[in-house]
A = this chain, B = another copy of it.
Amino acid sequence: MTRWAPGTAERLQEAALALFADRGFEQTTAADIAQSVGLTERTFFRHFSDKREVLFHGQRLLAEAFTSGAQAAPDGASPIEIVACALRSAASVFPDERRPHSRARRSVIEQNPALRERELHKLAGLSAALTETLRARGVAPLAAALAAQCGVTVFGLAFTQWIGEGEQRSFDALTTQTLQELLALAAKGTPRIAP
């Protein structure tokens, strides 16, 4: 017998999502979450550096999928093609079964500005990691940052569509279609912007 059950962080995450969904983020204290799984507030903060972080721990998997996908892109791929590989890889993190959970999580985040800020920060981290991967593959700094940021934009909008009510398309299909739409928009952009 172990004195401490394993998966403490995971239990805290689940409990937090449930409580946030029920009473709201601000109406739930860190002590509430800890107590609901039989721990103290102090222990909560040992696992999560701040109260918001409890909703964002899973994002590590996503960052890994992103960069591993980019690294696995074929030699000679253009920056946008590399980004497309990263997106395809990211799609594996969001199988259809996860839709309800993602919806619940997003609904909580949507209702609190502080949580939205944290989400944007995590997306920026994705962008930075992808930029780094692109640069490691020899892409010029500005191009790498632009392509990575476009990838994250497509990811974000695909995700929003994916959890939309009644949406049936897979995450993978949505990223592909959204990226195509971005490329189409760019192609319609004026050839000369300067006067």
Contacts and interface: CB of A to CB of B under 8 A. Distances in A.
Contacts of A142: 157, 161, 178, 181
**A: contact size bracket:** 35 or more
Interface of A: 77-81, 84, 113, 116-118, 120-121, 124, 142-143, 145-147, 149-150, 153-154, 156-157, 161, 176, 178-183, 185-190, 193-194
A150 B81 contact: no
Copies of this chain, how many?
2
23 contacts: A77-B190, A78-B188, A78-B189, A79-B185, A80-B190, A81-B190, A84-B189, A84-B190, A116-B124, A117-B117, A117-B120, A120-B120, A120-B121, A120-B124, A146-B153, A146-B178, A147-B185, A150-B153, A150-B186, A153-B153, A182-B186, A183-B186, A187-B187
